[in-house]
Amino acid sequence: MEEKINKIIEDSANYAAANGFILNPDKAMVERLARGLASREEKFGARYCPCRLMTQDKKEDEKIICPCVYHNEEVERDGYCYCRLFYKK
């Protein structure tokens, strides 16, 4: 599980850098979020955001696979996404 968590953190950091974001500066929070993503990936087969409710409608739930379809708008509006993984640079 630790390898998977580290991979998610690495993937998220790379995504953030490539898209003009930064990861949450609170490393413990990033690890908790990565642990939640890893858990959902193991249980449901994809990195569904641990901060959002799944509907059990596969097409609808695809929207909340991290990075979710909502994160760009949330970062622009609020300075961070809903789960606070990605922050505005």
Joined together, the tokens standing for residue 33 give: 């979020």
**What is the domain partition of the chain in residue ranges?**
2-88
| Amino acid 87: pLDDT | 98
Summary mean pLDDT of the chain:
96
Joined together, the tokens standing for residue 81 give: 């996404």
| Amino acid 34: pLDDT | 97
> For residue 84, what are the contacts with CB-CB under 8 A and spacing of at least 6?
24, 29, 33
Joined together, the tokens standing for residue 60 give: 């609808």
Per-residue model confidence as pLDDT tens digits over 62-85:
999 999 999 999 999 999 999 999
H, E, C per residue of 62-79? HHHECCCCCHHHHHHHHC
Q: Which residues of the chain have pLDDT under 50?
A: none
Fold of the 2-88 domain: Ferredoxin Thioredoxin Reductase (3.90.460)
